[in-house]
Amino acid sequence: MYRTNFADKILKFTNDLSSVSIDLPDKFKLINPYSGKQQAAVCKITTAFYQKYFDDTKPRRLILGSSPARRGTAMTGVPFEDAKHLQTETGILIDQFYINQSSSKFLYDVMTKYGGSKKFYNAFYLGFVCPLGLASINAKGNEVNCNYYENKKVQNLLLPFIVHSLRRQIDFGIDTSVCYCIGSGENYKVLVNINHQYHFFETIVPLEHPRFITQYHPKDHDKYLEKYLNALHHESC
């Protein structure tokens, strides 16, 4: 009898995300890669990627970012993975996709030092507190990236979806003894508050966002890399 594996559960989740629609205030909108213009390519990429690294029933620990970047994961569908790297991994060309190189580059450094992508993904699943992207219109009328916690009304409207999505991700087969939070500021504060109410995780470990490291503390790259590795290795012992 076939047993649903980790990859199957992820792909069922992303497929279900394709039908999500949430009314937000003017000047805010959700960006959904699973129902967007390149839905077919995203489906092929996510299927190939997750079947490559998660084709088993092994428990993993959860690493959560805030929400997908507007022109990054909110288009590719795979958290924190660079478009060029995804092409290498899956053989699928994604001409129009772009992701913040600094974030993915730092996390690739973490994966390499941890022992490579296979070993890393064998132990961890990368996801988001809010798994769909968010954009807002700024004062100049331009569409810009936005985090779910930047506007209180938006955050409150998204909260039921966020809680439901966290439950779904945990149901993949997550070891809930520890969760790692990418973003040691507002994302961490919100996740801790949610956890106080719903008791999803025994402990949450905050880690600085790669963009914060690469943009503001590039000379401390090795220090933060060591911090990530110490946290991941320590809690995995």
Q: Is residue 72 part of a domain?
A: yes
Q: Is residue 122 part of a domain?
A: yes
Region 162-170 average pLDDT = 98
Alpha-carbon gap, residue 168 to 77, rounded angstroms:
16
What pLDDT score does 96 carry? 57
Region 138-153 average pLDDT = 91
| pTM given for the model | 0.92
* Model confidence band, residue 101 (pLDDT cutoffs 50, 70, 90): low
What pLDDT score does 237 carry? 47
Q: Is residue 1 part of a domain?
A: no
- CA-based nearest residue to 30, from 143, 133, 157, 184: 133
Tens-digit pLDDT profile for residues 32-86: 989 977 788 889 889 999 999 999 999 999 999 999 876 666 567 888 877 777 7
Q: Is residue 184 part of a domain?
A: yes
Cβ atoms 84, 100 nearer than 8 A: no
What pLDDT score does 2 carry? 57
The token pair that represents 56 in the structure block: 């088993």
Domain CATH for 22: 3.40.470.10
Region 208-221 average pLDDT = 93
Q: Is residue 188 part of a domain?
A: yes
Alpha-carbon gap, residue 82 to 97, rounded angstroms:
9
What pLDDT score does 16 carry? 97
Q: Is residue 205 part of a domain?
A: yes
Q: How many structural domains does the chain have?
A: 1
Alpha-carbon gap, residue 29 to 26, rounded angstroms:
8
Beta bridge partners of 145: 135
* Model confidence band, residue 97 (pLDDT cutoffs 50, 70, 90): low
State which residues form the domain around 226.
Answer: 6-236
What pLDDT score does 72 carry? 63
Q: Is residue 155 part of a domain?
A: yes
Query: SS3 letters for 75-120?
Result: HHCCCCCCHHHHHHHHCCCCCCCCCCHHHHHHHHHHHHHHCCHHHH
